[in-house]
Amino acid sequence: MNDMANTAVQAGKIMLVGIGPGSVEHMTGRARAAIAEADTIIGYVTYIKLVADLIEGKEVIRKSMTEELDRAIEALDRARAGKKVALVSSGDAGVYGMAGPTYEVLFQAGWTPDCGIEVEIVPGASALNSCAALVGAPLTHDFCAISLSDLLTPWPVIARRLDAVAYADFVVALYNPKSGRRTQQIVQAQQLFLRHRRPDTPVAIVKSAYRRREHIVFTTLDQMAEADIGMLSTVLIGNSQTFVREGRMVTPRGYANKYDLDEGGSTREGEKAGRSLSTGLLGWLQGLQAEHQAGATPDELARRHRLPADYIVQALRAPAEAPAAVTEEGEA
């Protein structure tokens, strides 16, 4: 790569465009406008076909999946020549997408914001958003995304992450769960999860969301490694509260912790609408401090609350009082 000092003065632009799941109706207005504005379109063949109506008369560079760095370098070359380039990704260009490799290539080449090449990232719905929308409401509580691809990430890093989030009861979206060559990663992921989660934990496998070959399978953690999973699948593993009912996978938000849904939604005893739970931070700190005064050691409290002992020691020192009353709207 050449030094950035030779960059052309005319304004080039690199737009990283997330087109969502891959059906035209789920693209944003800005994604369409960015593609329309571009002189050059670079992307994986499948995605370029989806915007065929927008690209007439433009230079189109079709690339296969293994050439991510090449795509970024090509985009930079065109932008240096004053062109506007749209790098088209499915999903969100920032989620396991081209945004990262592109910035890595730009920095390597000495790019700065005032060098004459503008960079814009156009956000879109990532696979986890699209797949969740199709299966119900699995992501209404804390969740994470983990790629099972070990082509760029050492396995112990991936395994450590799987173990940590299985333990801490996250809903998990597995990206790149399996390929022709990588068949054992999903088996290992299952084993790591089964150490912490019930065998009947709901799992949804979504292939080609919002596309012609869309296919959704509901299964359970103990069965998921046998399911039909491929390169175009996303695997959603529920948390300990997630259930499947009427063909919908739902993770409850926690209203049942505060409201009695059978009684027309009145608050449970000791709870107040718009306020932290009695087991929220301040209530919990007060309880913790009371347990400690009653003789429980930090080690005992750590085991009881399943939290590290040194955090318990810190928490015992924290102020356990609410701040002065604040008038506030806007929380559940």
Site for a second copy in 292-321 (CB under 8 A): 305-308, 310-311, 314-315, 318-319
CB of 81 to a second copy, least distance (A): 20
Question: Within positions 204 to 233, which residues make up the interface with a second copy, using CB under 8 A?
Answer: 231
Residue 233, classed as helix, strand or coil, is strand
- Whether 82 contacts 10, CB under 8 Å: yes
**Paired tokens of 117:** 């090449």
Comparing CB distances to a second copy, the nearer of 169 and 222 is 169
CB of 82 to a second copy, least distance (A): 21
Q: How far apart, in whole angstroms, are the C-alpha atoms of residue 252 and residue 255?
A: 7
Question: Within positions 12 to 51, which residues make up the interface with a second copy, using CB under 8 A?
Answer: 18, 20-21, 24-30, 33
Out of 36, 52, 157, 290, point to the residue binding a second copy (CB under 8 A).
Answer: 157
159 binds a second copy (CB under 8 A): yes
Q: How many residues does the chain have?
A: 332
In terms of Cβ atoms closer than 10 Å to its own Cβ (0-12, 13-18, 19+), residue 224 is: buried
**Paired tokens of 23:** 């059906």
Residue 178 phi/psi, 5-degree rounding, is -165, 150
Question: Within positions 55 to 94, which residues make up the interface with a second copy, using CB under 8 A?
Answer: 64-66, 68-70, 92-94
- Whether 26 contacts 131, CB under 8 Å: no
Comparing CB distances to a second copy, the nearer of 55 and 236 is 236
Q: How far apart, in whole angstroms, are the C-alpha atoms of residue 119 and residue 222?
A: 45
Question: Within positions 87 to 146, which residues make up the interface with a second copy, using CB under 8 A?
Answer: 92-97, 99-104, 107-108, 111-113, 121-126, 129-130, 132-134, 136-146
CB of 226 to a second copy, least distance (A): 16
Count of chain residues binding a second copy (CB under 8 A): 140
CB of 102 to a second copy, least distance (A): 7
- Whether 43 contacts 62, CB under 8 Å: yes
Q: How far apart, in whole angstroms, are the C-alpha atoms of residue 223 and residue 200?
A: 9
Out of 253, 266, 299, 303, point to the residue binding a second copy (CB under 8 A).
Answer: 253
